[in-house]
Structure 1
Amino acid sequence: MIYFISDLHLSPRTPGAIRLFKAFLARIAHPDVARNNRLYLLGDCFETWVGDDDMEDPCHQEIIAALAQASAAGLAIHLQHGNRDFLLGQDFARAAGLTLLPDPYVLSTPQWQFVLSHGDALCTDDEAYQQFRAQTRRPDWQAAFLAKPLRERLAIAAQLRQQSEVAKRGKSAYLMDLNPGETDDFLRQHGYATFIHGHTHQPATHDHIVDGIHVERWVLADWSEDRGEALSWDGAQLRRESLLPS
């Protein structure tokens, strides 16, 4: 089985979501099935990530330990950056036993082809966000930010998070969704592969007709304290699975 999840937004403020995630990992990394399973985390696994030197945080340690245990059992884990955790680096990847992927990423299986992305790069109607995104992905900006003391980075992240929540309340819904034209171009550029992404917190399955070709777009659900969702591929079909506390 191949599993796709995104937008867990794990933090010390979401202990329920962390428990759900650990239980999900334990199930798909069970010794009987782990080596036949793959997991793709499509961004925003963490609510915020200000650098790999913050791995000593107890919450981060708990999540990293669960990922490393699942990886050691044989589960192949792959992760894309989201808009909240784009500073996850190779030190984190080594500690968690996972592989960082570019965005977008084309996943080919014997039966089908998928293109995976967090999704935020296609929200092009939100020009202010795209300017911020372009700035924070620059190597010089990241180097300067990571050179700041950890406490200062945490304070900056908290301020930015608060500003983002305020800004979202004043934005039209279309600004926070994928631009239709850009999405069709993206599907065309990636060979009309089935598109799986997160970011918008609007789980749905969309049908696109691009150059006369039917293409599916699956939007992953965000997680909360009392529910999660995984999309699975068994070699024949995609299926949504609700994850609830035991």
Structure 2
Amino acid sequence: MFLQFIGDRARQADELYILGDFFETWIGDDDIDDSFNAGIVSALRAASDAGLRISLLHGNRDFLLGPDFSTASGVRLISDPYVLSTAEWQFVLSHGDALCLDDTAYMAFRTQVRNPDWQAALLAKPLAERRAIAAHMREVSESSQRDKDNPYTDLQPAATDDFLREHGYATFVHGHTHQPAKHDHIVDGIHVERWVLADWHEERGECLIWDGEALSREAILPENRP
């Protein structure tokens, strides 16, 4: 469904921002020739060459996306958080996981895998070994989620208010929590919107559209569905 989106709907926009967890796993830019990865990279390159400006920040599943991916796909890798200023409004974009402070186990994992030394050690391993490690990490993560009444931790409220304050009360857009919604925060007496992105599945995706006046959600459905 993403190939349909990037080949059609996305090209009607000037820019596209992808806020992490774009790939289920990404074990290094040397895996770019995998048939699935190659198809996605090719589609991104075609859209970029057609004039769509695409930016991507890392998620907790694809934190190893690097310069070779960027060169091959035409996608610009951006820092997290990223301040997006338009002529009409200001946004701050993030994957969102850095504010899930109440999930201490995940925060420990995040600290480990974002460490440059840990990443360098992993990337030095053979591709097959990295695939096995990634599969094991996903299995452990999914098993842990099954054991929880609510497997998805939301952003910590106090940390989120501090984040909004630090970024000038800009409209906050993020993913990670699997809980799509629009939240209204009052920080220092100022109303701030926080938009949470939805997951993409085979039967449905979703994007946020900025038309110069307001954000709105748009469903992305397979071509054979109304």
Query: What is the TM-score normalised by the length of structure 1?
Result: 0.88
Equivalent residue, structure 1, for 2:62:
85
1:73-125 deviations in whole A, cap 9, x for unaligned? Answer: 00000000000000000100110001000000000001000000000111000
After the TM superposition, which residues 115-126 of structure 1 pair with which residues of structure 2 at under 5 Å, given as runs? 115-126=92-103
Match of 1:26 among 7, 18, 21: 7
* CA 175–45 in structure 1, closer or farther in 2 if over 3 Å, else same: closer
Identity %: 65
1:177-212 deviations in whole A, cap 9, x for unaligned? Answer: 111111111101100000000011111000000011
Match of 2:81 among 94, 104, 123: 104
Equivalent residue, structure 1, for 2:129:
152
Q: Check if 1:55 corresponds to 2:32.
A: yes
1:1-48 deviations in whole A, cap 9, x for unaligned? Answer: xxxxxxxxxxxxxxxxxxx11111112454xx4xx5100000000000
Contact 1:28 1:75 in 2 (8 A): no
Equivalent residue, structure 2, for 1:71:
48
Higher RCO (C-alpha under 8 Å, 6+ residues apart): 1
Separation (CA, whole Å) in 1 of partners of 2:151 and 2:32: 36
Contact 2:205 2:221 in 1 (8 A): yes
Root-mean-square deviation over aligned CA pairs: 1.2
Query: What is the TM-score normalised by the length of structure 2?
Result: 0.96
Q: Which amino acid aligns with 1:41?
A: I
Match of 1:231 among 183, 208, 211: 208
Q: Check if 1:43 corresponds to 2:24.
A: no
Match of 2:186 among 187, 209, 219: 209
Q: Which amino acid aligns with 2:71?
A: R
Q: Structure 1 runs of 4+ off > 4 angstroms?
A: none
Q: Which amino acid aligns with 1:150?
A: L
Gaps of 5+ in 2: none
Q: Which amino acid aligns with 2:40?
A: I
Separation (CA, whole Å) in 1 of partners of 2:216 and 2:169: 20
Equivalent residue, structure 2, for 1:241:
218
Alignment size in residue pairs: 223
1:108-157 deviations in whole A, cap 9, x for unaligned? Answer: 00100000000011100011110110111111100000000000000000
Gaps of 5+ in 1: 1-19
Q: Check if 1:190 corresponds to 2:167.
A: yes
Q: Which amino acid aligns with 2:123?
A: L
Contact 1:44 1:85 in 2 (8 A): yes
Equivalent residue, structure 1, for 2:139:
162
Displacement of 1:69 in angstroms is 0.1
